[in-house]
Amino acid sequence: MGAHTYIRNYVHVVFSTKHRLRSLSTLQIRMHVWRYIAGIAEQNGFPALAVGGYDDHCHVLIELPATIMISKAVQKIKGVSSKWLTDTYTEFNDFAWQEGYSAFSVSTSQVKRVVEYIDRQEEHHKRIDFKDEYIEFLKRNNIQYDDRYVFG
């Protein structure tokens, strides 16, 4: 990077468990997974400002430097956390995250709001399920999708 290159790139990443299975069904396991994902991000040079979700999905707000592509960051988060879960907990020997993900840019002025949103996932999903939440994200960000394949 040149001497006059300045980057501030916040990205809200959302992904589901494979087949949207409710694999992360206890608060205790979710807390372990969220902490582990935060550690993965930190170790790989893209700090996680918030990690949360519910029993079938995960939200991560990361700050990406110019040197790391979103796809590489997400691959690292999903791959390492999935391997850790299957290696650490016998009941997770078949665990996997979905193949895809969504990533939404977040302006600096909205970071606090997104952090609060991610931190309130437990409460949030008492009112709305993940599918409805996800479709709302896609619509709000003007992303074209085919309903038949959005969770394929």
CA gyration radius for the chain? 15
H/E element, 140:
helix 130-140
Q: Which of 34, 36, 18 is nearest to 26 (CA)?
A: 34
> What does the alpha-carbon distance between residue 136 and residue 124 come to, in Å, rounded to a whole number?
14
Taking every pair of Cα atoms in the chain, the longest distance, rounded to a whole number of angstroms, is 50
| Confidence (pLDDT) at 73 | 98
Which mean pLDDT values do the consecutive 10-residue runs of the chain (152 residues) have?
A: 81 95 93 98 97 96 96 98 95 92 96 97 88 88 83 63
End-to-end CA distance of the chain: 39
Domains of the chain: residue spans and CATH: 10-140 (3.30.70.1290)
What letter does residue 94 receive in the DSSP assignment? T
The CB density around residue 34, as the number of other CB atoms within 10 Å, is 22
The pLDDT score that the predictor gives to residue 2 is 59
